Amino acid sequence: MPKVSDDHLAARRQQILDGARRCFAEFGYDGATVRRIEQETGLSRGAIFHHYKDKDALFLALAHEDAARMADVAAEQGLVQVMRNLLADPTQFDWLGTRLEIARRLRTDPEFRAGWAARSADLAAATEARLEQQRKLGRLRDDIPTVVLLGYLDLVMDGLVTRIASGLGVDNLSAVLDLVEESVRRHRTPDDRTTADERAAAHR
């Protein structure tokens, strides 16, 4: 029997994820039946569940894929930029319309909750590293612990996703994100400006 290449396996997994993403976006978690996932992917349930053991595993794989993409942005530009990207093109994450269904599962299903928490770990780590970097550069307010700022930004992110998932308007949310970004910045005092001027003068 010929060996299937790694590239072929990766392409097949991506085909499954792309079809599942469309299915979850259109029908929600409960409505995304195996039959509908088969139709969206063009594959049999045997082929689908050869790669992902069940619908939960498929859903969480999508969550990990998006979290990795967001973590890359968070590491380079911060979590607020992740939110700006989400606001600019919510269709990238339209499967998160299942968010309200997810909330119920998180309360009642410990195994699913553990999988969802793992999905968030890389994004949280990237965001925390970015915050620490900005703090060292003197750009982040230093009167609040990093872990609190991380929790604050994560809460805003959850609210933004829920707002979009609920189909509510997003008018003025860009200005809200401006406010969020401003709220975590360090505002320079007169003493800071004097010190900066002294450093600049020393290098002349």
**What is this structure's pTM?**
0.73
Q: Where in the chain is the domain with CATH 1.10.357.10?
A: 63-202
3-state secondary structure of 192: helix
- Fold exhibited by the domain 1-52: Arc Repressor Mutant, subunit A (1.10.10)
Conformational region of residue 25, where left means phi above 0, alpha means psi within -120 to 50, and beta covers everything else: alpha
Closest CA to 99 of 85, 83, 116, 115: 116
Residue 195 has a pLDDT of: 47
Count how many Cα atoms sit within 13 Å of the Cα of residue 185 in the half-sphere of its side chain: 10
Predicted pLDDT of residue 46: 92
How far apart (Å, rounded) are the C-alpha atoms in residues 118 and 122? Answer: 8
Taking only the tens of pLDDT, the chain with its 204 residues reads 445 677 888 899 999 999 998 898 888 888 899 999 999 999 999 999 999 988 888 888 888 888 888 889 999 999 999 899 888 887 766 666 676 677 777 888 888 888 888 777 888 888 899 999 998 989 999 899 999 999 999 899 888 887 877 776 677 889 999 999 999 998 765 555 444 444 445 445
Looking at the chain, which residues constitute the CATH 1.10.10.60 domain(s)?
A: 1-52
Ramachandran category for residue 89: left, alpha or beta (phi over 0 → left; psi -120 to 50 → alpha):
beta
User: What pLDDT shows up at residue 65?
Assistant: 83
Contact 76/83 with Cβ under 8 angstroms? Answer: no
Burial label for 62, CB within 10 Å (0-12, 13-18, 19+), is: buried
pLDDT of residue 165: 73
Per-residue pLDDT at 189: 57
- Superfamily holding 63-202: Tetracycline Repressor, domain 2 (1.10.357.10)
